[in-house]
Amino acid sequence: TGHCWRVMLDQCDALALTMVCVQPLLVHREREREDLTRDRSDPKDAVLIAGLAAQLRCYEPERPTAQWARLRHLGDRRCELIVAGGAARQRIRALLECAWPAALTAAAKPLEATTWRASMAVILTRCDDGDPASVRRMGWARFQAAVRRELPRWGGSRVAWRIARNLWEATGDATGVTVHRHGALERTRDALVDWQRLRVQRADVEARMVGVLDDVDLTGLVTSIPGLSAVGAAAILAETGDPTRFDSARALVKHAGLAPRDNESGTFKGTSRISGRGRPGLRLAVWRAVWGALPHNAVYAARHRHLTTRDTNRLTDHQARVAVGGALLRQLHAVIVHRVAWDATTATGVKEVTAAA
């Protein structure tokens, strides 16, 4: 469990022993099959695991190279930063809704607006005793200059002065739970600092992930798929490991838990769903990649449109995106294993789609 199996694998290699793994789900099912209970103990589990291994209901663990192992760790770090960044965003929104709700009305989507974030950083740094109105003493001209200096730290280049002006006007709004305003705005400032730091760290990690793809000479191949960025591909490959270790593209899809499972009995045909087994992190990485790829890939867009508009067995938007995700994984496997660039004609067999792409 955890990292311990990697230590065990190293020790087995040193002793020239072959190590195999048994799925915990199989062991759980075997406990019930053995005596119809869920009783567990180390001696009993050892016997059950040995029996499953003797029946060859086991697999050899992944043996990554140093580069693929590094990509896996960078991918894990990126996921941690995404979660922490999302938590900081939600904390900022919750605190402002309580203590200074007018600040959230300065833009349609304030937390996604670069100007709003830069302006908020200026206000929270300069307000005294938790009173945003105290910022007005610096004057509009000095506030504009401060926002211009702050904007590049958030990745912006042009100030949306309408948003900045709305936030400037909101500093005079007294609505909200004023007794908590001082403390809440202090926490908001800290959360904003954390969010900025996490964004910088995430960009650094993503650059290193792309660097690993460059080292294994895959960046050009994976980005030949329209709409799939180098970072998105790196996030997927961080979860899959080297795709060449899979015998087929379908095995990779099953590894992600995206393979459909049958739900039939006699003449009854129920709704088919994905298995949901495999790596949840891989499913999440594919899901994010699909959202980025659909607007820029004519083949995937056509597939999604067909699945959601056909007369029979019409899929929902969510189901269609899952289906496109499975296709993306299969094609990514083919591109890497065969070392060929993605081709729309090969992906669909319809030349008209290639012309549209």
pLDDT in tens, 171-180: 999 899 989 9
Q: Report pLDDT digits (tens) over 197-256.
A: 999 999 999 999 999 999 999 999 999 999 999 999 999 999 999 999 999 999 999 999
pLDDT for res 347: 87
Instruction: State the pLDDT at residue 266.
Output: 73
Coil, strand or helix at 261: strand
Chain-wide mean pLDDT for the chain?
91
The DSSP symbol for 21 reads: B
Other C-beta atoms lying within 10 Å of the C-beta of residue 52: 18
Extract the tokens encoding 290: 């699909």
Helix (H, G, I), strand (E, B) or coil at 131: strand
Residue 349 pLDDT more than 80? Answer: no
Pairing of strands 264-265, 273-274: unpaired
Chain-centre distance for alpha carbon 280: 10
Instruction: Please check the confidence at residue 353 and state whether its pLDDT lies above 80.
Output: no
Among 31-40, 125-134, 278-287, the range with the most confident prediction by mean pLDDT is 278-287
For range 297-303, the mean pLDDT: 95
Say whether pLDDT at 312 is over 90. no
Q: How confident is the model at residue 350 (pLDDT cuts 50, 70, 90)?
A: very low
Residues 284-312: what's their mean pLDDT?
95
On whether the CB atoms of residues 106 and 163 are closer than 8 A, the answer is: yes
Residue listed under structure tokens 């960044």: 85
Q: Identify the DSSP state of 260.
A: E
Name the band, by pLDDT with cuts 50, 70 and 90, for residue 313.
Answer: confident
pLDDT tens-digit map of 100-121 = 999 999 999 999 999 999 999 9
Residue 278 has a pLDDT of 84
What is the predicted pLDDT for the residue at 74? 97
Write out pLDDT tens, residues 71-110. Answer: 999 999 999 999 999 999 999 999 999 999 999 999 999 9
Does the pLDDT of residue 351 top 50, yes or no?
Answer: no
User: How high is the pLDDT of residue 1?
Assistant: 65
Amino acid 267: pLDDT: 73
Res 127 pLDDT > 90: no
pLDDT at 145: 96
Percent of the chain with pLDDT over 70: 97
Query: Does the pLDDT value for residue 50 go beyond 90?
Result: yes
CA distance 329 to 347: 12
Share of the chain above pLDDT 90, in %: 79
∠ Cα 300 258 309 (to 5°)? 40
Give the pLDDT score at 274: 81
What mean pLDDT comes out for the span 269-292? 87
Q: Is the pLDDT of residue 170 over 50?
A: yes
Checking if the pLDDT of 357 tops 60, the result is no
- Residue 57's DSSP bridge partners are none
CA atoms of 295 and 178, how far apart (whole Å): 44
